[in-house]
Amino acid sequence: MGTQVKDVIIKPDAPSSLFLDKHADYIAAYGSKKDDYEYTLSEYLRMSGIYWGLTVMDLMGQLPRMNREEIIDFIKSCQHECGGISASIGHDPHLLYTLSAVQILCLYDSVDAIDVDKVVEYVKGLQQEDGSFAGDKWGEIDTRFSFCAVATLALLGKMDKINVDKAVEFVLTCMNFDGGFGCRPGSESHAGQIYCCTGFLSLTGQLHQVNADLLGWWLCERQLPSGGLNGRPEKLPDVCYSWWVLASLKIIGRIHWIDKAKLRTFILACQDEETGGFADRPGDMVDPFHTLFGVAGLSLLGDEQIKPVNPVLCMPEDVLQRIGLQPDLLS
Amino acid sequence: MCLWPSGLPYCWVFFTRKKFLVRVTSHGVLKMAESEEEVDVLVQRVVKDITNAFKRNPNIDEIGVIPCPEARYNRSPIVLVENKLGVESWCVKFLLPYVHNKLLLYRQRKHWLDREALVDITCTLLLLNPDFTTAWNVRKELLQCGVLNPEKDLYLGKLALTKFPKSPETWIHRRWVLQQILRQFSVVGRSRKQQQQQGEAEQADGERSQQLSDHLARTLHQEMKVCSDAACRYPSNYNAWSHRIWVVQHMAKGNFKVFHDELSSMRLWVSMHVSDHSGFHYRQFLLKELITELSQTPASTTTCSPQHQSSTVPSVNPHHHSDTQANGELSGAEAAGEDERQLSLTTVLHLFHQEMELCSDLIQSFPGHETLWSHRRHVFYLWHQWRREHQHRCSNNGSSESVHLNNSDPGLTEVGAQSCAGRGESVNGQRHASEPMEIDRAPLPDPRDSKRLKRGVLLPAPPGLPCEHSFVSSILDRCSNPEQRRFALAYKKWLDTVMGPQP
């Protein structure tokens, strides 16, 4: 009985060089063609969508093509009385979009456009007794939100406003026997959660708590024969997981453990030569989310046409240098 | 034939992008719609149709979109066939933006909607786009002021999951609703306790409490069903399985039987889903919880919170230990305690043994599945950890794996195993007169087993490192499947580097 290998086959005619100009055109045009239906469907995550688009434009040196004033005004109108920021106007505030908004404002060097003290109060107010963070006032707990909280505060230089020790304690309770992390204590290891937790431990200066060899092992096992990385065993490879796994490996100093050339081949094969943009897998529909993580992944792999990206915050290194933030990395 | 009451025809197509409205007449001719008010009326009617479909059939169990690019007939795009609710695809493109904008205008206090309209609009909206967080939040508020009841929202979420089984926001909302139910439950539990303390326990209140615990047990059961359905609809569904973990952690805390039943029912499921890493992780979680529970020291066996003790889901706790006196003599009660402790240890060995055996069977029957090898790592790691932590009570005699539960009298309670590579045979094949609780279709040891244990009867135990190495060798010797060989070699490397070098 044969086993169907869960992987993709990269065709010989798949793209093998980087089409940066096409990607910039794709992102620049994305915001302007607001098909009502598609636009409506994704409005609940609009702020993160803008962060993905702007960050990839900045990494490609094309940020000036985007409408800075319009975007900053939009963010201002998404800040709520409680200090939290929502995905779009009329939506409810949430830590996910609060982080995205702060990241965008850092790209534009305009953090003062919003009420920073209120953002800090909002984040602080979401910390629970056990150190975990709720995503919003309704109380859902997830290690993703721990990352959002410390990343937001780190970008604002206000990490001292929360109980960092407790926050670390909670994240460590989500560590598993394989060295990975899940969303809550007892939950399965997942590449996205691992990225959040290693990023969290980097920002809080606690990377020594990670079993880097064990976790590195698990992360390397995500690489499939096609070169692409998946997020868990027996899942298909995906450009966004390629980023999360690669960034985690970079954070824990084990990026040289995977086959970089094969991963690069996989990521390049996920481009659409005609429309620009990256898809999750070769031949699928492109979107801004996978376009950012494709370009950012290539940057981590050392592509010199792209600005260096920071593996913890997924932002251009020059932006973090400007605000004086240098998250720890293991060597 | 017009199936619907008089009024405007349903067969309208709205080209919202160009901001003008077109309708299809019964002859298929496009005509401009007269006004935006008409659109308003039409969309409201579709929303009402959805609401009415739920009134007509409260047992709708699945939703879906019917591919239908154009409105061809003068009938509602909402189709109810038996328990399935369908929306014709042509109408989704205008229905969604309409209800979406209505709700956002309400949220910005630019447009008033009464409670009934809010319930209907959020229902339509969430069935079409269940990750719209703010719409769930509106329902949370409606729930808090009593307009909606928790069951209604669990039901809506369940339906949304039939079409969007991963939807993170739907799972998040479920957890919030379940917490409301749990809170209700604990409030009643507390007030009953107070009354009992004051000697005023009333029968009516007892009944109410009983009803609530029945309700909780039913909710728990339904929740498991929702998780299973979503897990079947989307493989390795992280959100469904992490929700299931949350549910047993919060709704069956310390409830030994629920954990056992879950482990039993999962056995068949994982055997039929050998690639489902999340399903196997859930099994690992259950195993770890059970083993921790069984291995707890006597002082810390307060496993049932008061709210769960009154649950109708029976709480079986087969280990109420008592300490052995310093001089080693056991009173009657203490001897019973000691029996129970030995039973717990036997159960632990039994669980590990069965799990490794299941894993071996599956690896051999379904070669080349990373999930199965990953499961083996996890179970072996748990076993290894447990053995190390209980070294004071167990001594390991090399590969024969003879485990002595009491160092002072090794002959008294010897539990051993000839298990190798998960192929161990149960020496204790005796059946019991009464039916004991089952784990994975195999009976748990009966308390009377401890008497047999005292006579030195051997029970199977899971394998040690040498057995694992010979298991890997046997796979490598026999199997030509390249994936299977790759995973077997990776497991061997993992044993060598993570679990310690081969002796």
Rounded Cα–Cα distance for residues A172 and A180 (Å)? 10
Establish if B188 touches chain A: CB-CB under 8 angstroms: no
Summarize pLDDT for A213-233 with one digit per residue, the tens: 999 999 999 999 999 999 999
Contact B127, B163 (CB under 8 A): yes
The answer to whether A82 faces chain B, any CB pair under 8 Å, is no
- State phi, psi for A142 to the nearest 5 degrees: -165, 140
pLDDT, one tens digit per residue, over A149-165 is: 999 999 999 999 999 99
Report how far residue A327's alpha carbon sits from residue B252's, in angstroms, rounded to the nearest whole number: 41
Residue B384: which of B493, B465, B460 has the closest Cα?
B465
Q: Check residue B461 and give its pLDDT.
A: 64
Nearest to A90 among B108, B140, B245 (CB): B108
Q: Which helix (H) or strand (E) holds A73?
A: helix A68-78
Specify the pLDDT at position B330. Answer: 56
Answer yes or no: do A234 and B371 touch at CB < 8 A: yes
- Whether the per-residue pLDDT at B345 is higher than 80: the answer is yes
User: How many contacts (CB atoms, under 8 Å) link A and B?
Assistant: 114
Residues A85 and A126 sit within 8 Å (Cβ to Cβ)? no
pLDDT confidence bin for B200, thresholds 50/70/90: low
More confident residue, B391 or B429: B391
Nearest to B483 among A3, A178, A187 (CB): A3
With contacts defined as CB-CB under 8 Å, which chain A residues touch B288?
186
Interface contact A32, partner B, CB < 8 A: no
0.85 surpassed by complex ipTM: yes
What's the distance, CA A181 to chain centroid? 16
B179 touches chain A (CB under 8 A): yes
Say how far apart CA A210 and CA A248 lie, in whole Å: 11
Q: Are A206 and A185 in contact (CB under 8 A)?
A: no
Most confident of A4-13, A260-269, B16-25, B206-215: A260-269
Instruction: Measure in Å the smallest separation between the Cα of A153 and chain B Cα atoms.
Output: 24
Cβ-based neighbour number of residue B408 at 10 Å? 8
Q: What residues 458-497 of chain B have any CB closer than 8 A to a CB of chain A?
A: 481, 483-484, 490, 494
How far apart, in whole angstroms, are the C-alpha atoms of residue A224 and residue A234?
A: 10
Using the structure block, give the residue that is written with the tokens 């409301």.
B180
Which residue of chain B is at minimal alpha-carbon distance from A93?
Answer: B134
Q: State how far residue B392 is from chain A, nearest Cα, in angstroms.
A: 23
The pair of structure tokens assigned to A169 is 């304690």
pLDDT at residue B205 tops 90:
no
Taking the Cβ of residue A81 and every Cβ of chain B, the question of whether any pair is shorter than 8 Å is answered with no
Mean pLDDT of B120-136: 96
Supply the mean pLDDT for chain B.
Answer: 77
Whether A108 contacts A68, CB under 8 Å? yes
Residues of chain A above pLDDT 90, percent? 94
pLDDT band for position B343 (cuts 50, 70, 90): confident
* Strand, coil or helix: A201: helix
pLDDT of residue B402: 41
Structural domains in chain B plus CATH codes: 36-190+211-254 (no CATH), 255-296+342-393+463-502 (1.25.40.120)
Segment of A71-75, B25-29, B306-310, B427-431 carrying the highest mean pLDDT = A71-75
Flag whether pLDDT at B463 surpasses 80: no
| pLDDT for residue B68 is more than 90 | no
Residues 6+ apart with CB under 8 A from B176: A138, A139, A140, B140
| A234-253 pLDDT tens trace | 999 999 999 999 999 999 99
Q: What pLDDT does B192 receive? A: 64
Which position has the higher pLDDT, B25 or A95? A95
| pLDDT at position B194 | 66
The residue ranking higher by pLDDT, A40 or B8, is A40
Residue B76's pLDDT is what? 87
pLDDT above 60: residue B472: yes
Least confident of A129-133, B325-329, B406-410: B406-410
Tell me the average pLDDT across A170-179.
Answer: 97
How many other β-carbons are positioned within 10 Å of the β-carbon of residue B197?
Answer: 9
What's the pTM? 0.86
Rg, chain B, Cα only? 30
Residue percentage of chain B with pLDDT more than 70 = 68
Which one of A7, A45, A138, A174 makes the best mutation probe of the B interface by having the most chain B beta carbons within 10 Å? A138
Give yes or no for residue B300 having a pLDDT over 80: no
**In this structure, what DSSP letter does residue B79 have?**
E
pLDDT for the residue B392: 60
All domains in chain A, ordered by first residue? 20-323 (1.50.10.20)
SS3 at position B138: helix
Distances from the Cα of A267 to the Cαs of A255, A275, A296, B59, B183, in angstroms?
A: 16, 16, 10, 46, 48
> Minimal Cα distance from B169: which residue of A?
A140
pLDDT digits (tens, 9 = 90+) for B417-441: 333 433 333 333 333 333 344 444 4
Q: What is the pLDDT of residue B209?
A: 78
Is the pLDDT reported for residue B401 higher than 70? no
